[in-house]
Every structure is written in structure tokens, then in C-alpha cells.
Structure 1
Amino acid sequence: MRVVRLLTASAAVATTVAMLAAPAMAGVDQAQAAHGRQIQVRRDHSDVRVPFVVKRSGEALIDLNAAAPGTDWAVKGGESAVVSIYVDNRYATDLVVSGDQPLHRQLALGRVSAGPHQLRLHFAGERSAAGSTSVRLDGVKVTTYAPGSADYLALRYAPIVHGRANPELGTPDQNATTDTPLIAWHESGPGTAPGRTKLTYSVVWSNEDGGTNTPALMARWGRTTDIEWIYDVEVDEHGNRVAGSDTYQAANHQTLHFSGKYEGDHALLETCTSNNNMCDQVTDPMRFFLSALATRPADQAREHMMDTNPWTYQIMSKEMIREGKIEAASDTTPATPEVSDQRNYLYAVVKKTTDRPNTGSSWVGVALGVRLKSGATVYVSNHVDPTWSIQRDDTAATTVELPPGTTADDIEEITANRVVVGTDNGAVVHVTGIKRGFFLGQDYLPQPSFLSWNGDVTVDPATPSAVLWRR
């Protein structure tokens, strides 16, 4: 182990960084802040400079724990503090930090060459809540993935997303207070020709100010975050981009060919609609270079990526409170479709298939039903709106609103309910699993899942409702 002594810009605080031996993954090197030392990035102070050394050129990620005392995503005007991260004075990414409890984040730094480098950490005061004065960082680690390592290609082509600055939605730097990008991931699959691989990148935002309304988000998607694929690209057998193959999700969910600029191999995109669709022309200075290292298991819903980053539910819930999208406690009842305290909901993932095409204006969906030990009422996920049932034949998340204070022990049974939209086409739906079920705790973080079921239950015109799980 080789230890390098690092100094902050003030030269008053020393941070020790240990260059760790290469881990088991070939072509992956780490430089990690050691001994629990903390870095303070302060408003109206000099930027903090942290040296690090790269053994082999490649794509770099930074891991850190971040907290911003005096901020709270639930409080208007006090949402966050922003740190802009530079590598050798090259602007890499912004980090939006909310709350005084440390939160682990992983961001991308782009390509770095072998040799010594320097992180520069800048408190972006103009993008931060007026009352915020500092951001605390610890556990800072830079990991470099060299060509040939397992995750290199996914990191090499990950896009950089510039912030949203729609005039009708407020001031510039909107993503410091609303619809902020939280996490990203990639998926890989076969391309359009032999030897090609298609890489697809997706992002989770804290909400969407336009698009699907909040109650429908909870019913149809099981959350109020926004999850979208944003960019895909094909690479050949040598790992090089196939010219003209990359596309992005544009306004109105169109798929368009990318014709913008690149930073190295990273496409530059910008969030340019109220529901977080992309443009390939960049004008907003704020930027988010989220790590796309993670990938989604094929049998999991997209919300699985939130489950593995449970803090995203907390940010999600706080944004709903601040933006007034939660009904008043005095009006809370599962009988109304308005979204109540998000701790009142069962968060479930259902697996189903339909025996015929399930598209167009007429289709057959499924709503999840919950009956409690205390009575005969069945609370349904779609709030009796047929169009809010689960249409897609995919592993799908949904929620069921229940009376305040309901716990897992209060649930007697869970049912699948066949829902017809338009004309009944006679479709038979097979429900084959419930992947998980949990409530949010007092801190809005997911509690352990108490629900798992596998089988094959059929709902059809003759039997429109069937029990999936009974205590």
C-alpha cells in the first residue's frame, strides 16, 4: 500500500489518501481517502483541491459521502447545496446535496490519463440555497476502469446530461431544486448486426413537473420519481461507436438520432422538457455526469434501481411535500385519488402476462387489491380509474393507498383484479409473481420487504378477481 499526503487549498487541513492495491477486477484501480478525514467545501472560501494518482488511463468514477448542514429537500428555499467537481480544471459534474445526514453518491469524471491529477471542489453558491454554507465530504474514492475491464465500455459511452432551464418553469439551475437527476444505469443487449452491442442509458429524476400526473404515477408506476431511458448507442466488436447508431429520447417521447456534440466519447444532452425528455443541443451550464456503472437485472422492474438506492424514495417524498402535491392530513382517505402521505402506501411489484396484444384504445389491465383484517373493503391500486391499472406485460411496480397507520401485519390478503379499458377483448391475464412489498418508514426510507409470492393465477372475463396472497 502506497500512501500519498494530500493538502486542501487552505493548507490548514491535511487529508491522507491511500493508493490501494488493485482489486480482483482486472484493469480497475482505486485511490481512496483514508482514516475518516473529512473535507469541507465552504461558501465564499477557496476551492478545495485534492490530488490523486491514476495508474492506468481509463474512465473514472468518484464515490463519496456528502451532507449539507442546514438544507432539506422538503423545505422551499432550503433545498440543497451544490458542489461543482472539476478534474485538472476540467468541469466534470455538479453534485446536488440535501440534508445534514451523509448520503453515498457515485458520479463519473470522464476519461483520465495515467499520472497525477487534481480534484477541484467548488461551492456553487449561486446554485445553492441561500442559507447553506458548506458541504461535508468523506470517504472520497476515485476508481479508474481501464480499457479491457468489464465495465469500461458502459462508462466510456455514458452521456453527460446538462440541466433544465425552461423559462416557463422558473429560473436557471432548476435541477438544484426540482426534478433533480438522482441515479443512472446502463443495460446492454444485441445490436442490429452480428458482433454489435447496444448500450442503453436510463436516469431516475426526483419527479417530473409535467407529463403523468402524480396520482397516476403512483398507481401505474409505483412512485413519483420520473424514470426514462435517455440515450443508446451501438458499438462494434472492437468496442467502437457505430457511426450514426446513437439515438436519444426527445420531446413527446420521440426517438431521434443524436446529432449533437461529444466530450470525448460522451454524448452531451440537455433536459429540455417539463417531463425530462432530452435535447441534443446544450445551452444550460449545470451538468450531471451520473455513474452508469450499475445495470438492471433482466427480471426486475426499473424501480429495482430505486430499491438498491433507497434514499431515492426519501428525496421523492420530500419533493412531493414541498411542491404541495400531497393532500392535507385532514382530507386523507384512500377513497380519493389524490396522493396522501406516501408512507400510507404499499409499494409492490407485480409480474404478469396477457394472452394477446395489449395495446391500442382497448386493453385489459390488472389492479392490485388489498383487504385488511379489520374489514371487507378492498383497496385497489388504480383508485377505480381503469386507465390507471397496469397495462404493460413486464415486471411492474404499483402502489395501493391504505388507511394511515396501516402496517404489514394488518394486511389479510392481496388480490389481482382484471380491469377493462374500452371494449373487452376477452384477454386472459396470468399473474405469476409479487416480487416485493414494503411500506416507507417514518423517515420515508423503505422498510424491509415482507411480501413475496410466486405461482400462476388467472383472471379472465368469468373470474375477474383472484387471491394472490393470504396471511
Structure 2
Amino acid sequence: MRDTAFVLAAAGGAPLLAHSPTPALASDTLVVERNGPARSITFTAARDGEAVIRFAASAPGVSWARQGAESAVLAIEVDGRHVTDLVVPAAEPTPRSLGLGPVRQGNHRVTLRFLNASAPAARRVNLVRPKVQMPTADQVALRHAPIVVGRTGWPFGDPYQNVRTDTPLVAWHESRPATTPGHRVLEYSMVWSNEDGGTDTPALMARWGRTTDVEWVYRVEVDAAGRRVDGSGVYQGPQHLTLKFTGRYEGDHPLLQTCTSNNNMCDVISPGAPLRFLPDASRTRPTDRAREVVMDREPWTYRVMAQELLREGRLEKTSDPATREVGDPRTYLFVELAKKTGGPTQGWGSAPGVSLGVRLKKDTSRLYRSDHGERTWSIERDGPAATTVELPEGTAVQDIASIEAIRQPVGLGDNGAPATVTTLHRGFLLGRSYLPQASAITWNGSVTLTPQSPTAPLWRGP
């Protein structure tokens, strides 16, 4: 077995620099093969703390879009202890970052093993420029991040289902002040490639602007020194209930398991569950942006999202914006807006949501709506929110004449509340390979929609 030795620089977050490179890794690529030996990286930690490993991962012959070729899977150990698994869903190099858990000052070994749970088409995994780091600024966030055990109970008791469906992609954390001065609350969220249950696919595109599943997972209060406040841990359980965490910790990492078809958690772990995921949750998101911004900065997540739709047969055979079924994801305009709702002007009726409409230069009389005319698919929540608008195949951003806001009560009656739209943060289409193209749409202003004036233009094309 060949090893690559690394030394952790004393400066926080500095990459581990190779001090004895081997000729086999002159290309900075570590190859882990099916039926081959495990591969290892050794490193020296300059201090106690949480470590992460980062690389670009690819698996030749793999495609999340093809049955039997969905992914290659690696088990990752630190000093012989199973820490996390890595699902590689693409033949193209994809940047990945995983937590390695707590390590003590001194020498350590990261071992990577190819799992037979990989798809039959998977033969090896290439890891380009693997680096282990111990970020200084993000240590508290890394320390309390949940370890998510793979789903085993649905469907059909398959313990390896996350290597083919609803796989975890990325994670992040958010922080806000707690009631106790000097304390704060950390909340951890994850993005899954899809959800096998829960909101149906067309409604996801209209109301959330994607078909990935984005959920908060775990929330905990920490004191000024970053220590967990006993009994403060809660998690998002089945039926989206907030439940007190009474499970087991590894250090400060709570162990949770995906236990529903829409990726909610349980704090009781199935015996022998083989898969576990500890994605790097050190990053956060701007408070004035929708959660989907974490996908925007990891463009490959859109490709995985689209490929799962293709493989699972969730797309109509011929894209048609006149139907409510989901068409080719490359025909959708992905938009993020910001809105707020005022108080009702009468005591009965439903509150309004907001939908977006798009007109094309070739026929400005036709309006393509994000809600497809279904009132419950408009956006009810205030603040930043993402949605999509299905357009005819072949449409480019330069073909768009205008984007307008539409006030839409979501239930019976209308309580008269005004809805104000203030921002379009971005608007893009997916390219041929299902990756986001550059955003060409932004707008800042303020338009207020009322029952008397339920529509207003926001953006006009050049």
C-alpha cells in the first residue's frame, strides 16, 4: 500500500503540504480501485481540533442518470475508525469537502476503501489534489455538525439506498444569538439529490425552485467557549416535527438517521446501518439569500438533481410549458426573488402568495407562469425565495422580454393583504450538461401588489 505523507501547517486552515511525494502521485491524483487495496494519506495535526478533507472526485463510467451506473462509493476512516462515506455520482471531477471529525495533535492516517455497494459500472474513484485541513474560524461549527446515517427502512429495507437515490450532497450551518448573553444557536441543514416522498415534483419546482430536498437537520445552543448546552439539541423528525435529541454523540457530533422518504431524521439508529455521512458544514449562507444559494455555489448539485429526475422517470417525454408536469430542467428559468406581505385589510379570506410570469419577445401576449395557474403553487413565505418558470425548448435568456410579479391568494377568498416584491437576485437557465449558466437577470426596486393592482413588471430584457 502506498502512502502519501502530509504535514499540517500551524496556521489555521493552511493545507497539509506534502513533504515526501511519491512518483505514483506526481499528478496529485489518488486512485482507489474496485478489488484494489485501500489507499491512505498520513498527516500530522499541529493541534487538537476538527479536520476536513477536500478534493475533486470523479468515477469513470459513472453517471447518476443511468441505472446500474449511479455512483461509486468510498468508505473513509481516520486511524481505523469509520468516519464518513463518499458517494461519487459523476465521471467529471467534482469538488467535494467532508468532515473527518475530531483529531488529536500528532500523526494520523486517512484510509479510503472502495465499497462493493458501488454501481456495477463503477471501477475506480479518482481524487485530485486531496488536502486535509483544520480551519480555525469554523472549528465550533464543525465540532457540532450532525453525522447522518444512511436511510435503511424505506423502500424495502435496502441499507444502501442512498448510493442510488436521495443522496446527501452538501451541508451548511447558520448561527444566531441565543437568549443567554454570549450564547448562540447553531442550525445545520443539508441538500439531498431528491425526495422520494413529500412534496410532488411539479410543486417543488414552482414553490421552491428545485427538486432537491433541502432540510434543516439539527439545532443546538453553545456557550461563549463553543461548548454544547446540555439538553439544548433538537432535530427535525418525521412529519417535520421539532424533537428533543436524546440519542448518542460521537464527541459533540450527534448521530441521526434519515428515517423517512422525505429525509426527516430519527435519533435511534438502525443496528448495522452501513452508510454514514459527515459533509463539511463549516460554510454558511448570506441571511438575505434563499437557501438555494448553497446550490448556486456548488453548480454540480443541479446536474445531480436533473439526472435523478431523468433516471427515475419523473419528466414528461416532451417538454410542454402548458402542462403542469415537469419537463426538461434545461427549459426552466431559475429565479430568486425577495418579498414581504403586509397585514390583511379584511378579516376573512386567504393571504396572498406571489408568482412570477415571463413574456418572450417573439410573443409578448403569452404569459408563462411559475405556478402553472395552480394557486397553491405560488410562494407564500416572505423573505428570499426561489422558483422556476418553464419556457419553450430552445429559449435563451436573451429571448425574454419581461418578468412580472403576480399576486395570487392561495386559498378561498382574499384577505386583501398587499404583497411587496423588492429584489430579483438571479435568473439563469441550465446549460447542455445541466449546469447553471451565468445569471443575466437582476433587479432591485419595490413594487406592491394589491387586489386592485395584482400584477406589476419587475425586469425588462435589453
User: How would you bin the TM-score normalised by the shorter chain?
Assistant: over 0.9
How big is each residue's C-alpha offset from its partner over 1:37-93, in whole Å with a ceiling of 9 and x where there is no partner? 221111112211221111111100000111111111000111001000000001010
2:356 maps to 1:365: no
2:120 maps to 1:133: no
2:367 maps to 1:396: no
1:467 matched to which residue of 2? 457
> Take 2:74 and 2:349, find their aligned partners in 1: how far apart are those partners?
47
How big is each residue's C-alpha offset from its partner over 1:363-384, in whole Å with a ceiling of 9 and x where there is no partner? 2001100000111100000000
Residue 191 of structure 1, CA deviation? 1.1
> Take 2:89 and 2:175, find their aligned partners in 1: how far apart are those partners?
32
Matches within 5 A, 1:60-79: 60-79=51-70
| Matched letter for residue 432 of structure 2 | Q
Quick check: 37-46 or 315-324, which moved more? 37-46
1:458 is aligned, of 448, 454, 458, to: 448
2:343 matched to which residue of 1? 356
> Take 1:357 and 1:193, find their aligned partners in 2: how far apart are those partners?
35
> RMSD of the alignment, in Å?
1.7
Are the equivalent residues in 1 in contact too, given 2:8–2:45 (CA < 8 A)?
A: no
Are the equivalent residues in 1 in contact too, given 2:333–2:429 (CA < 8 A)?
A: yes
Residue segments in structure 2 that go unaligned for 5+ positions in a row: none
Describe the SS at the equivalent of 1:155: helix
1:249 is aligned, of 229, 232, 236, to: 236
How big is each residue's C-alpha offset from its partner over 1:94-146, in whole Å with a ceiling of 9 and x where there is no partner? 00012221111000000011111111110011x1001211111121000014x
2:75 maps to 1:88: no
1:292 matched to which residue of 2? 281
Residue 340 of structure 1, CA deviation? 0.1
| Matched letter for residue 239 of structure 2 | N
1:123 matched to which residue of 2? 114
1:324 matched to which residue of 2? 313
CA distance change for structure 1 residues 357 and 42 in 2, over 3 Å: closer, same or farther? farther
How big is each residue's C-alpha offset from its partner over 1:404-438, in whole Å with a ceiling of 9 and x where there is no partner? 00001110011000101222000111110100000
2:329 maps to 1:342: yes
How big is each residue's C-alpha offset from its partner over 1:242-294, in whole Å with a ceiling of 9 and x where there is no partner? 11001000000000000000001100000000000000011222000010011
Describe the SS at the equivalent of 1:154: helix
Identity of aligned residues (%): 53
Are the equivalent residues in 2 in contact too, given 1:32–1:139 (CA < 8 A)?
A: no
| Matched letter for residue 195 of structure 1 | G
How big is each residue's C-alpha offset from its partner over 1:305-351, in whole Å with a ceiling of 9 and x where there is no partner? 0000010000000000000001002xx21010000000000000011
Quick check: 277-286 or 263-272, which moved more? 277-286
2:402 maps to 1:413: yes
CA distance change for structure 1 residues 427 and 167 in 2, over 3 Å: closer, same or farther? closer
Are the equivalent residues in 2 in contact too, given 1:65–1:102 (CA < 8 A)?
A: yes
Are the equivalent residues in 2 in contact too, given 1:48–1:121 (CA < 8 A)?
A: yes
2:294 maps to 1:313: no
Matches within 5 A, 1:260-271: 260-271=247-258
Residue segments in structure 1 that go unaligned for 5+ positions in a row: 1-8
2:428 matched to which residue of 1? 438
Are the equivalent residues in 2 in contact too, given 1:82–1:123 (CA < 8 A)?
A: yes
Residue 169 of structure 1, CA deviation? 4.8
Are the equivalent residues in 2 in contact too, given 1:347–1:437 (CA < 8 A)?
A: yes
2:31 is aligned, of 16, 26, 40, to: 40
1:31 matched to which residue of 2? 16
> Take 1:290 and 1:351, find their aligned partners in 2: how far apart are those partners?
29
